[in-house]
Chain A
Amino acid sequence: MRIEGRGLVDRGQTLGFRFDGRDYVGHPGDTLASALLANGVRLIGRSFKYHRPRGVLTAGAEEPNALVEILEEGQHTPNVRATVQELYQGLAARSQNRFPSLGFDLLAVNDLAAPFLSVGFYYKTFMWPRHFWEGLYEPLIRRAAGLGTLSKRHDEADYEKAFAFCDLLVIGAGPAGLAAALEAGRAGADVILCDEDARMGGRLLSETLTLDDAPAVDWVMAALAELAALPNVRLMPRTTVTGAYDQGTFGALERVGLHLHLPARPHLPRECFWRIVARRAILAAGALERPIAFQNNDRPGIMLASAVRSYLNRYGVTPGRRVTVFANNDEARRTAHDLMAAGVPVAAIIDSRPHSSAVEDCPVYTGAAVIDSRGRRGLSQITVRHGGGISMIETDCLAVSGGWNPTLHLTSHMGGRPLWNEALAGFVPAPNAVPGLAPAGAAAGVMSTAGCLASGQRAAREVLEALGRKAPGLPLPAAEDAPYVIEPLWSVPGTGGRWARAWLDFANDVTVKDVGLAARENFASVEHMKRYTTQGMAPDQGKNSNVAALAVLADATGRTIAETGTTTFRPPYTPVSIAAIGAGGRGAGFAPQRLLTSHQASVERGAPMIEAGLWYRPSYFPRPGEATWRDACDREVRMVRGAVGVCDVSTLGKIDIQGADAARFLDLVYANTFSTLPVGRVRYGLMLREDGHVMDDGTTARLGEAHYLTTTTTAAAGQVMRHLDFVHQAFCADWDLRFISVTESWAQIAVAGPKARALLASVLDTMPDLPFMGCAGVGVQGVKGRLFRISFSGELGYEIAVPARYGEALFRDLLARAETMGGGAYGMEALNVLRIEKGLLTHAEIHGRVTAFDVGMERMLGAKDCIGKGPSRRPGLLGPDREQMVGLRPLDPEQALSSGAHLFVPGETVERVNDQGYTTSACWSPTLNSWLALGFLKDGRARHGQTLRLVDHLRGIDVLCEVCDPVFHDREGGKLRA
């Protein structure tokens, strides 16, 4: 019900909205919760486990009950807290966790079965019979579990991530935060002020306090106007700082366009996840009020005393027509005062403290407690136990306050343990829990308005001093400075009993009795109790139940609260959508796409692209009449072997190495020797890791006396660069040596096949007479290029490099010419077949567990030292027990082989103990008309000619093979030297 003349909502405008299919009206400035309460809607959801009727408990982000689904066109968002969701025109929401309707919920039978659903029920009940678990129990539990539903459609909306930097991050824009931001902002510091609320001001928006004898809201408006005008201050409303991380990094979730208006604006991100780097931070996140546990304390209509004030003073709504206040502290009496001032009848104040004041304009019961409540879908009556006996009070709203917990969650994110403060009956942040972050105001346990303002200003002054800035020292407004007087009351004694339940954790339905049971079953550590009872594990993470629960646990285990301690708060403070954390990473944004200069030309020819690292390379080039990739691949292989093929190999890493010590450096990083390589020649090189295993291979050309060009495999280019940088900087930084990647500078195209020379001669200005493994500078239609006579196919082969800007033109030109010669383009599939036929390595073979010995190249390691040499000779890395690289051919050439298959001696059982080795690559060879495989076999080099069984259970392959040399094609290498 609205109260005239109260609140900050804009009564001049109305907003239509819908909840569970019924239409309502609210105003700008409302939350969904305030608008529902204004319309008299009290029942908003069903609880998780018992499906108990629930209403609004709080007026903030800590809400455990009022979780709803927001419906949008085709999409819906579950678990939205109605207490923070701003109202907008056309908002549609529905309640959760009920079937078929909120008013009549079938699973409410759980509530009747509650004695059997006590804590630990899953663990105790679903143990036997064992085989029931998969078929019956798990599906049943899964159906009952979970809160809200998903649309199961892709979220196509925009999300954003962003980085921000500041001198001072102020977290929370209540009195302490505003005072801090003003002080630091006026001093010229670079300030970011974040607040999770759409409207800044914190509790000052919800109280009838005055600052300098004017309404507190006036001061808030003036402060915000001043801050907004300062160029060095950035105001970030709707932004929750969710985590504190090392070296002053904070995570923050900004709700940008999320559920702000309809229709959603194009490209406006729903949310933005900020990484804020702050030299200093002030935690002015305030405090959260906590309820008191008593029997049936979870009915709609029972809410926090501060929330009642928020709805009254900020939204102009009274949650009840006849309100009762139940508290253990002075502050909650403001609720009664504000209600009465607004003309709302207050039935009584029930103060648990025996010696508290009884002088009010309404009945006061001191030393009293609420012991039960009634009302099926909402509160109608409470039972009060007091000095004079037991009374029933008719009331439709009970405002409860068990005191306040400082919002110290961020101070725990780096392992800080909060400290128990007896006077506050609450935990306060441990000092220096997060380096550079200072709690201020209520978050630091300062509970008066004047205290909060001063605390915020003081924290800012300390920051300014650390930053070397002068504090402006402007006076603060005069404000209330009442002492905070509280006597702890966590749960009302004597309301237990077999059927009685007093709720601690509303979201996860954890009662006082559950915590007691956990203690009796020896889950006495607070962390164990949490996991056993699920207390604090719901979306609200127990923001208003943790402290009471551990107080009950302390009582049950005969310890103090300080001894019991608290569970660890971890990021995020409130839930963060994965979409926001992973913003930009969807679809093509997942990783950059590296495209060859020939990409478009390959796509035009219908080549499917295959990913190689970040690169996209053509898989094969289909021609009319070819039904499968194999048809194209076989043709391309025959084309290279019979005529000429063209393949873009620009993806290979290229590193330019210069300097007087370049040769010496290559000798150190490669197993073999490059100082002896003549200028104008190319040599194959094997690079070892420091542990003696093969890291990579490639060719290196000597372009000049002190100038080399080394190539890496496509996949390992980054790793090799990192390795070279390490070896250089760690072991020989004083050598005269410079190197840099030139991978992207050159388009490099392989031309392979008997007609390769003829094709190149038609393109080059002058065709040099290069020997095998020779290189030279060439002119390509006037463009300066490089020609290398190297081969990865076993045929006469060249690689021609031109500056990348000419790559596409050269590729198209070579292709057109090759096609007139019976040749054409070949893709990755054919390239792989060609190299398997020739027994050449890729990372399928040098997969990280093989040594130079394993691949038959140990003789490359000469007398000189090199990275990996010493460890490559360790025991166990040499000798017949090693799996050595071999070739494999099926006895029946038509029988398919696979990579990843294992090798066994025929007659022995196929099990691990008999494993002789495995295959790494396999293909159909159109050249040899047989399936071929490469693999590693124990003592393989001594076993050529033996017959082995190749088994691949995954693909149903079981084939007899002959072991042979890994080079299947042109073993003498005559074709290379043609």
Chain B
Amino acid sequence: MRLTCPLCGPRDRREFYYYGADDYLHRPAPDAPPAAWDDYLHNRDNPAGMLRDLWYHEAGCGQWLAVSRNTVSHDITAVECVAPLRPARKKAVRNED
């Protein structure tokens, strides 16, 4: 498996650390009820199809990436930086062809 890091380019899966679905990006308000925290922390869809999940380019540039991929075909449609890049750069790149 290979991911195209928006900064480093196409890289082998061994360079990345896997976190989980991108639900982790949507942190509830500090005073949100326990159910909201449960959803945030634990409850996940398990789609047969498109999934957006979080990967860390641990052996590379240290970027957190949101990867859109198909869990059935293994096709990767987009890899984006979790933190928006400066406007001069492209926001998302297609994975290597």
Report A-B touching, CB under 8 Å. Answer: yes
Asked if A865 contacts B56 (CB within 8 A), the reply is no
In the bound complex, CA of A733 to CA of B85 (Å):
9
Query: In the complex where A690-B24, A725-B56, A870-B31 touch, is A247 in contact with B83 (Cβ < 8 A)?
Result: no
State A865–B27 Cα separation when bound (angstroms): 12
Residues of chain A lying within 8 A (CB to CB) of residue B29: 870
On whether the beta carbons of B34 and A874 are closer than 8 Å, the reply is yes
Whether the pair B31, A726 counts as a contact (CB closer than 8 A) is: no
- Contact (Cβ within 8 A) A690 B41: yes
A690 to B27, CA, bound (A): 9
Check A729/B63 contact, CB under 8 A, given A277-B2, A870-B28.
yes
Question: A249-B2, A725-B64, A726-B64 are contacts. A871–B27 as well, Cβ < 8 Å?
Answer: no
With A246-B2, A247-B95, A722-B58 given, is the CB distance from A729 to B41 under 8 Å?
no
Please, which residues of chain B bring their CB within 8 A of the CB of A98?
A: none
Question: How close is A797's CB to chain B, nearest CB, in angstroms?
Answer: 33
CA A246 to CA B95, docked complex, whole Å = 12
With beta carbons under 8 angstroms apart, the residue of B1, B28, B30, B64 that contacts A247 is B1
Chain A residue with Cβ nearest B41 = A691
Is B81 an interface residue when CB atoms closer than 8 A count as contact?
yes
Q: How many residues of B contact A (CB 8 A)?
A: 35
Assuming A414-B74, A726-B64, is B34 touching A875 (CB within 8 A)?
A: yes
Interface 1/0s, chain B 1-27, versus A by CB < 8 A? 111000000101000010100001101
Contact with B along A832-870 (1 / 0, CB 8 A): 000000000000000000000000000000000100011
| Chain A min CB distance to B71 (Å) | 12
Count of inter-chain pairs, beta carbons less than 8 A: 76
Minimum C-beta distance from B2 to chain A (A): 4
Q: Contacts A729-B82, A730-B25 given; indicate if A275 touches B12 (C-beta within 8 A).
A: yes
**Chain A residues whose C-beta falls within 8 Å of the C-beta of B63 in the assembled complex:** 725, 729
B64 A249 Cβ-Cβ under 8 A? no
A722 CA / B17 CA spacing, docked (Å): 9
Which of chain B's residues has its CB closest to A728's CB?
A: B83
Convert A570-587 into 0s and 1s, putting 1 for each residue whose CB lies closer than 8 angstroms to a CB of B: 000000000000000000
Whether A249 pairs with B82 at a CB distance below 8 angstroms is no
A120 at the interface (CB under 8 A from B): no
If A247-B2, A726-B56, A733-B84 touch, whether A871 touches B64 (CB-CB below 8 Å) is no
Is A590 an interface position by the 8 A CB rule?
no
Instruction: Using known A-B contacts A722-B17, A729-B63, determine if residue A248 contacts B41 with beta carbons closer than 8 Å.
Output: no
The answer for the CA separation of A735 and B86 in the assembled complex, in Å, is 13
Pick the contact of A248: B2, B3, B62 (CB < 8 A).
B2
Question: In the bound complex, what is the Cα–Cα distance between A878 and B73 (angstroms)?
Answer: 45
From residue A641, how far is it (CB to closest CB) to chain B in Å? 41
Instruction: Report the Cα distance A871→B83, complex, angstroms.
Output: 24
- The distance in angstroms between the C-alpha atoms of A275 and B24, with both chains bound, is 33
Contacts of A249 in B (CB 8 A): 1-2, 12
* Given A249-B1, A728-B83, A730-B82: A435 touches B75 (CB 8 Å cut-off): yes
- Among candidates A718, A729, A869, residue contacting B64 with C-beta atoms closer than 8 Å: A729
Q: A246-B74, A277-B2, A690-B24 are in contact. Are A729 and B81 (CB under 8 A)?
A: yes
What is the 8 Å Cβ interface bit string for chain B, positions 61-97, against chain A (1 contact, 0 not)? 0111000000000111000011110000000000111
Complex A-B: 19 CB contacts under 8 Å: A246-B74, A247-B3, A248-B2, A275-B12, A277-B12, A414-B74, A435-B75, A691-B41, A721-B62, A722-B17, A725-B62, A726-B19, A726-B24, A726-B54, A731-B27, A733-B82, A870-B30, A870-B37, A875-B34
Taking Cβ atoms with an 8 Å cutoff, the residues of A that contact B are 163, 245-249, 275, 277, 279, 414, 435, 690-691, 718, 721-722, 725-726, 728-731, 733, 865, 869-871, 874-875
Which 5 interchain pairs have the tightest Cβ spacing?
A: A733-B83, A729-B83, A247-B2, A246-B1, A865-B30
Known: A245-B1, A246-B1. 10 other contacts (CB 8 A): A247-B3, A247-B76, A248-B96, A249-B1, A435-B75, A690-B24, A726-B64, A730-B24, A733-B83, A870-B29
